Chains A and B, each alone.
Chain A
Amino acid sequence: MLKQTRISNKLRALRFARGEMTQAERAERVGVTRQTVIAIEQGRYSPSLEMAFKLARIFEVPLDQVFQYQEEDKNEQK
C-alpha cells in the first residue's frame, strides 16, 4: 500500500527564525529548484541524506534539529 512520507521538518520555522535567506537562495545553494525546496518544506518530498545535510548546514544546526522521523505507532513514543 502506498503512503506518504513520515519525515517531517522544521525548515519553515527555521526560515522564519533566520529570515535572511529566501527559498530561491537556499535552493541555489543546495543545487535544486525552488519548487523542490517548497516540496521538502511542506513534507511532500523526502530529500536524500546528502541534501538533508546540505540544508541543515545552511541553517548551521544538526540534522536532527531540521528533520524528524515519525514513528509508525505514536503510542510507542510515549
Chain B
Amino acid sequence: MTFEEKNVWLNAGTTLGAFLVYLAVILGRTGAVPLVEVAYIAPLLWVIGASIAAVIFGNILMAIIWPREACQKDVRDREIERFGDYPGQIFIICGGVSAMILAMLKVNHFWIANAVYLCFVLSGLLSSAVKIYSYRRGIPSC
C-alpha cells in the first residue's frame, strides 16, 4: 500500500469517525429538548477541528513510521487523487445549493448547518471510496 493510499484510508476513517461521534452526541441530547433546539454548534466545531487535527497528526505519524514512502508521491497517485476528487465535488455543490434553498425557505439554522456538514462528510467519503477503488482495481477508463 502506498503512502498516499494510507492517507486516503486515514481521511475516510477520520471523516466517518468524526461524523458518528457528532451524531451520537446530538442524538444523545435530544431526550429533553426537540432536535432543532439541541446545542449543536460546539460539538460540530469540535468534531470538525478534531478531525482536521487527527488527519494532520496521523499524517505526521505515518511519515515518521514510513519516512521513505512519505516522499514518493508519483504520477499514479496524482491521477487517482484528481479522479477521486471529481465525484466528491458533487456533494460540495449539493451542500451549497441545499444551504441556499433552506435559507430561502427560512428553515431553522440547525438544518442548514447540518445539511452542509452532511454534504462535506458524503463528499469526503465518496472521494475516498473512489480513490480506494482506483488503487485496488485500477482507474476505470470511459
B71 nearest CB across to chain A (Å): 10
Q: Could you count the A-B residue pairs with CB atoms below 8 Å apart for me: how many are there?
A: 45
A residues sitting closer than 8 Å to B (CB atoms) are: 1-5, 31-33, 35-36, 39, 43-46, 48, 51
Q: Are B140 and A35 in contact (CB under 8 A)?
A: no
The complex places the Cα of A1 from the Cα of B104 at a distance, in Å, of 37
The complex places the Cα of A47 from the Cα of B81 at a distance, in Å, of 16
Interface size class of B (residues with CB under 8 A): 10 to 19
Q: Contacts A45-B76, A48-B75 known; A5 to B138 CB distance under 8 Å? A: yes
B residues sitting closer than 8 Å to A (CB atoms) are: 1-2, 5, 69, 72, 74-77, 137-142
Q: List the B side residues contacting A51 at CB < 8 Å.
A: 75
Q: Are B138 and A31 in contact (CB under 8 A)?
A: no
Task: Please give me the 10 A-B residue pairs with the lowest Cβ-Cβ distance, nearest first.
Answer: A44-B138, A2-B140, A32-B74, A36-B76, A35-B2, A33-B72, A33-B74, A33-B2, A36-B74, A5-B141
